[in-house]
Chains A and B, each alone.
Chain A
Amino acid sequence: MRRDVLDRLHARLGRVDGVGASAHFAEALLRARARRLAMPRDGGGGAVAGKALLCCRIAAERYGLALDELSEVMELESWTPVPGQPQYLLGVTNLRGEIRPVLDLHALLGLPAPDAGARAWVIFADSGGSEVGLRVDALESIAAVDAGSLTVPADTGNGLPQRFVAGIGSDGLIVLDIGKILALDVLQDRRVDARHVS
């Protein structure tokens, strides 16, 4: 019995050593990094070929936002719900001393609500001096998309979610129309009130 336990312990130790062999792992990592560095620089200039989009994830879908209409991204650590407002207005948050409204894209796009304890990020869209936050579940990357390759959904649909979609990419990326999102009534009222306050 004692021998058995020892054998199993030895086997377990050997496996841990195998995985934790940092030499092999580090070599593979460095190799990948060198391959990435050896790629031509034009890959980063993809924005020149089309429109630069910030890819993010909301629920299980990937969404794209035009990079030139954004002002900032940050982690949404806390927000304050505002009573008496529609469900898609998540609340307000504090951005370096300024109060900004944050929209809940899950509610706006009719997607299932996220987990209560999940981490969240906010993308601030620039709208004529006023910045509105859009809550997303994760930030992914910057991508360049040709405007011509987007498929525009038919205007016949009367559902709200389709109103905010500018087009759908070939890889399933949904490009949102930030202007239409910001044209929501609550934000208009909000803006007037905000001016009065400021």
Chain B
Amino acid sequence: MTNAAQYSLWKSLKLRRKLFLVAMAFNLVLAGLIVFNVMVLRGQTQVSLTTDMAARQRMLSQKFAKEVVLANGGVTQDAQATMKLMRDSLTALTEGGDVVINPDTGARGELPPAPAEIRGRLADQAALLRQYETAAAVYLEGRRPEKLKDMLAVQTQLSESAETVVAMVTSAAAAGIRLMIVLEVVAGLVAAAIGMLISNLIAREIADPLAACSVAARKVAEGDLRIEPLEVRSADELAVLQESFNAMLGSQRDITLQIRTVCDSLTGSAAAILSSAQEQAAGTKQQAAAVQQITTTVEEISLSGKQVAERSRQVAGTAEAVASSGVAGLHAVREASAGMEAIREQTETVAENIITLSERTQAVGEIIATVNEIAEQSNLVALNAAIEAADAREQGRRFSVVANEIKNLADQAKEATSQVRGILEQTQKGINTSVMLTEEALKRVESGREKSTLSEQVIRQMSDNIQDSAHAFQQIVGATNQQQIGLEQVTQALHEIRQASQQTAVTTAQLERASLDISQLGHKLARTLEKFRL
């Protein structure tokens, strides 16, 4: 009841207390009515006692008369006691108070004072009683019958007066009873109306929030979480219920939101898992293919390893053969080296011969130059002779012919020398070429000898290497056998990997189906959650 202060006192009361208060009110009304009834009934008892007392006055007057008569007859009677009783009763009737109800038992009762109108009657009765007593005394004094008659007349008046008082008391009592009935009916009606109003109010206070709650609960049941929170207008149990309902609505909304978010992420995760599973499936297939390829490759490697081993064995054998051939090659190279040396010596001889030839050619050239000089001198002589012949005119004509002939011879000699010189030049060129070729040949022979020396070294080294290679190949053979064993183990391992990969593929397919199911469930959940309108 945190918000009890902001409501009125009635609104802030608990329902239980309200009902308790209402019941208390009803009880109070009921108690009032009962008290009222009791009071009325008590009044009625006094009225009936009063009536009895008034009626007894009549009976007492008759008894008094009888006793007086009897006393007159000689029978001792206590007529005075009866007269006293009548007097006391009348006083009690008039003034109220204690009175003897039964003279034999001595029971006493309380009488209320009489109303004014009745009191007048009672005063008349008192006067009559006094007359009655006086008449009785008279009767007794004289003992005359006419006096008895007077006394009986007074007694009749007294009886009538008592009758009248009884009638008046009875009618007053009846009037009181009617008033009471009317009062009770009115009070009962008012109480009933107030009770209906209050109960209606309480019922409305209870029913309205309950109806709102019911409507809201139906909407929530339909998935509508967008409804406004219930309005709390009191601080009673219904308010608690409404607040709890509001809290439930809020928390359900939060929970639904969270569920929706979670469902979204669940759907996303399921999709991611599905794609991952699919990728994994593809990867597993690729892996299986790769393992297949690797297995094939390893088998090929194993096969080629066997071939390598076989080849290595062959090569080792060949290498030994080559090593022996290498020794033969070494001998051959040594012979070739010796042959190269011989060639070099011969080539040097050839070179010397060519140099000699060149020198001789040069000597011939010098001789040719001399001859050419002689031819030129002859030409000069012939020209001079022609000049001389021209000087001699007719006499020199023959001489000029001779001179001309000498000149022709000189020209021919010159021409021949020039031809010889050309030949010599060609020869010289050839010799030069030969010298160069010889030098080249010498160089080549030299390089050949170096190469054969080198070849010797190379062949020796090669022979050594080949022997090393033979050893190495034998090691290769051993290693290849070990490799073969290792490859068989690898093949076995690959077989196991393949089986594991197939199992993985099966598992991945299951995973894929499961993730698909999860994804579908997520979608279903999302559709379900779509029912909730937030």
Minimum CB–CB distance from A197 to chain B (whole Å) comes to 26
CB contact under 8 A between A2 and B445, given known A20-B427, A33-B412 = yes
Pair A142/B383 contact, Cβ less than 8 Å:
yes
B532 to chain A, nearest CB (A): 105
Q: Does B325 contact A (CB under 8 A)?
A: no
**Chain B CB within 8 A of A61 CB:** no
**Which of B112-120, B282-290, B430-438 has 4 or more CB atoms under 8 Å from chain A?**
B430-438
**Nearest CB of B to A73, in Å:** 5
Cα(A165)–Cα(B413), bound, Å: 33
Say whether A44 faces chain B, with CB atoms less than 8 Å apart.
Answer: yes
A2 contact set on B, CB distance < 8 A? 343, 441, 445
Is the C-beta of B135 less than 8 angstroms from some C-beta in chain A? no
Interface residues of B in 380-415 (CB under 8 A from A): 380, 383-384, 386-387, 390-391, 397, 400-401, 404-405, 407-408, 411-412
Q: Is B379 an interface residue (CB 8 A)?
A: yes
The answer for the CA separation of A198 and B420 in the assembled complex, in Å, is: 49
Question: What is the total number of residues of chain A having a CB less than 8 Å from a CB of chain B?
Answer: 35
Bound together, the chains give a CA A20 to CA B368 distance in angstroms of 14
B430/A15 in contact, CB under 8 A? yes
Inter-chain contact A68/B391, CB cutoff 8 Å? yes
Confirm or deny: A1 has a beta carbon within 8 angstroms of a beta carbon on chain B.
yes
B175 within 8 A of A: no
Contacts of B405 in A (CB 8 A): 44
Closest to B404 in A: A44
Residues of A within 8 A of B327 (CB): none
Q: A29-B416, A45-B401, A74-B380 are in contact. Are A54 and B430 (CB under 8 A)?
A: no
Contact segment of A4-12, A109-117, A149-157, A181-189: A4-12
B499 CB within 8 Å of chain A: no
Asked if A9 and B350 make an inter-chain contact with CB atoms under 8 angstroms apart, the answer reads yes
Q: Provide the B257-288 mask, 1 if CB < 8 A to any CB of A, else 0.
A: 00000000000000000000000000000000
In the assembled complex, the Cα of A141 lies from the Cα of B411 at a distance in Å of 9
CA distance A15 to B426 in the complex (A): 9
B380→A73 contact, CB < 8 A: yes
Contact B384 A25 (CB under 8 A): no
17 residue pairs from A and B, CB less than 8 Å apart: A5-B347, A9-B437, A9-B438, A12-B437, A25-B419, A33-B412, A36-B412, A41-B401, A44-B400, A45-B397, A54-B387, A68-B390, A71-B387, A72-B387, A73-B387, A141-B407, A142-B383
